[in-house]
Amino acid sequence: MDKLQAPNPEYGQVVCVLWDLPVPRGGDRGVIIAGMRVLGIESSCDETGVAVYDTDLAGSAALRAHAVYSQIALHAEYGGVVPELASRDHVRKLLPLVRQTLAEAGLGVGDIDGVAYTAGPGLVGALLVGAGVARSLAWALEVPAVGVHHMEGHLLAPLMEDDPPEAPFVALLVSGGHTQLVAVDAIGQYRLLGETLDDAAGEAFDKTAKMMGLPYPGGPQLARLAEQGTPGVYRFARPMTDRPGLDFSFSGLKTQVLMAWRDSDQSEQTRADIARGFEDAVVETLSIKCERALEAAGTNVIVVAGGVGANKRLRARLQQMAERLGGRACFPRPALCTDNGAMIAFAGALRLQAGQHNPPKVDVTPRWDMATLPAV
């Protein structure tokens, strides 16, 4: 959600040292620790997510429980996320959600072997709530804690499903704040191949939906409306596909849609037809660039994650494209495409198992380049 962050560069990293204690039990770097039950906490924006990931179990069974509380209703009347309201609501919801998730997993708090929390990128106040709770729990339980990069969480989410792909592969990260193509050479080793020069794909969905009078957040609603639309009635540009390169630009497309909507009869059917034309343009653009990225990286496995990864047409289109290349497209189940605690528990578990954890301080990084992450 980088578009929502405070521009003040001082917020690049926020650290509050609460305890000057030795790091509790946990392995040394490079030593894989078996059998960890990791509590994951996500609070980077407007969803409070909690999960327990059990590294002793295989495939999707390893996710013992997960719960998400969405703040959509809270922010709806403002037409977007209000950071202060988001932080306060995380304060209200986080501990009850931790209790609920542990109960669903059939575990007591003492059964937790490690805690993972989103340390960035995101809204500074919202991140601090999750980091504060995670750090306090880890300290009280004397277990290690690790700060997870939110986008790495999204990127690794498809690996929680059965029959997960192995690196190297290309990841398409499509959320409300990001549209990125990333070459994944190994877990923790990421190379940015291309990204949006302006709006993120999810942001384009949300803004286009708003222009056509759909309530916030419009992305999923616009996709639902597009189901009723007739393909081809409106045809919009496939931005930046007529030249080489792996970057994206979606803001011009949004303007094209605005003009088409203004000049139309604004009937229900027209709205659906425009929604379909818009969705087809975004899906085809993403698919063209994914195919190019696979070629550039020399692989035929594409992993898709982030909120827009829940889009049915995008899933079908990328599946077709990957199969044509003799490869595969891997997605998390739709509920794990949007923000959730499961992806944070999983990404954190991989790092904790490798002996990686952070010193005992509340430490968040609202702006954070994924390429700077250490290898696992």
Residues that bind ligand KG4 (CB under 6 A): 1, 45, 175-177, 202-203, 205-206, 217, 219-220, 223, 306-308, 310-311, 338-339
Question: Binding string to Zn ion for residues 2 to 41, with x set by CB under 5 A, is what?
Answer: ----------------------------------------
| Site residues (CB under 5 A) for Zn ion, limited to 315-344 | 339
Instruction: Give the shortest CB-176-to-ligand KG4 separation in angstroms.
Output: 3
Which among Zn ion, ligand KG4, none contacts residue 341 (Cβ within 5 to 8 A by kind)? none
Q: Please choose, out of 6-14, 122-130, 173-181, 259-267, the segment that lies near Zn ion by the rule CB under 5 A.
A: 173-181
What are the angstrom distances between the C-alpha of 35 and each of 5, 67, 248? 37, 22, 42
CB of 224 to ligand KG4, least distance (A): 8
To the nearest whole angstrom, how small is the minimum distance from the Cβ of residue 118 to ligand KG4? 10
82/60 Cα distance (integer angstroms): 34
Which of 134/155 has CB closer to Zn ion?
155
Among 5, 175, 285, 300, binds Zn ion (CB under 5 A): 175
- Closest CB 349 distance from Zn ion, rounded Å: 18
291 binds, among ligand KG4, Zn ion, none (CB under 5 to 8 A by kind): none
Closest to ligand KG4 by CB, 111 vs 198, is 198
* CB closer to Zn ion, 69 vs 139: 69
Indicate which of ligand KG4, Zn ion, none lies near residue 169 (CB less than 5 to 8 Å, by partner kind). none
| Of 175 and 311, CB closest to Zn ion | 175
Binding site residues, Zn ion, CB under 5 A: 175, 339
